[in-house]
Structure 1
Amino acid sequence: MKYIVLLGLFLTINLGFAQDKKQTLKTQLVEVSCGQCQFGMEGHGCELAVRIDGKPYFVDGTSIDSHGDAHADDGFCAKIRKAEVVGTIVKDRFNVTSFKLLPNK
């Protein structure tokens, strides 16, 4: 009987963690640019970053060069743009699963 109770408790705890992992991520509208050139972040060259709630994070999952010439007049090193993103912050970096750069206005 004791083992059945422990097994039930174990399964209940594990199901709770499984539900947390399946959490749906929401789309966010964020500022996006070069972390070094526009957000003043420390780094080793130009790297894509997003700013969420006033705090910049370097991006994993896409690169600065995947969205045009970063050094063009409308590139990430020259301008702060807007993007719709989905992802999570892990160890002070933004792990993106979806990235949609919005047109310049």
Structure 2
Amino acid sequence: MKNLLFTFIIGLFSVAANAQTTPKKAEPAKAVKNQVVEIACGECQFKMKGKDCELAVRIDGKAYFVDGKNIDDFGDAHGEHGFCNAVSKAEVTGEIVNNRFKATSIKLLLKKS
């Protein structure tokens, strides 16, 4: 009985160790072309965890930090209607890679007040 219990416990540890060391597959990139999305500061408006005010877009209900454009490329982010104070609409093209939006173009459409 002790040998069976010992073998069972060792088996559990082996399975747990294997699960922790198996690399996760990278998700394939998702292309986004001329899609209208919400755009704002990820930290201030979308409540994302980050180190500083950073541009983000919300695509199909999920927010992504943006690579390729800066939060101040569209004006003062901390101004009255800036991205830290308001959510706007934009037409974007790029791709989602590793939970980030790699922007090739962002066209600001409308700012909410």
Q: Which residue number in structure 1 is paired with residue 69 of structure 2? A: 62
Identity %: 61
Aligned pair partner of 1:45 in 52, 65, 88: 52
For residues 54-88 of structure 1, give each alpha carbon's deviation from its aligned partner in whole angstroms, at most 9, with x where no partner exists: 10000001010111000011000000000000010
**Which whole-Å CA distance do the structure 1 matches of 2:95 and 2:86 have between them?**
24
Q: Which structure has greater strand proportion? A: 2
For the aligned residue pairs, the C-alpha RMSD in angstroms reads: 1.4
Q: Which residue number in structure 1 is paired with residue 110 of structure 2? A: 103
Q: How far off is 1:25 after superposition?
A: 5.4
Q: Is this contact kept in 1: 2:56–2:64, CA < 8 A?
A: yes
Q: Which residue number in structure 1 is paired with residue 38 of structure 2? A: 31
Letter in structure 1 aligned against 2:64:
Y
User: Gaps (5+ residues) in structure 1?
Assistant: 1-23
**Which whole-Å CA distance do the structure 2 matches of 1:45 and 1:33 have between them?**
13
Which one has the largest radius of gyration? Answer: 2
Q: Secondary structure at the match of 1:26?
A: strand
Q: Secondary structure at the match of 1:74?
A: coil
Q: What TM-score do you get using the length of structure 2 for normalisation?
A: 0.69
Q: What TM-score do you get using the length of structure 1 for normalisation?
A: 0.74
Give the total of aligned pairs.
82
User: Gaps (5+ residues) in structure 2?
Assistant: 1-30
**Which whole-Å CA distance do the structure 2 matches of 1:104 and 1:40 have between them?**
19
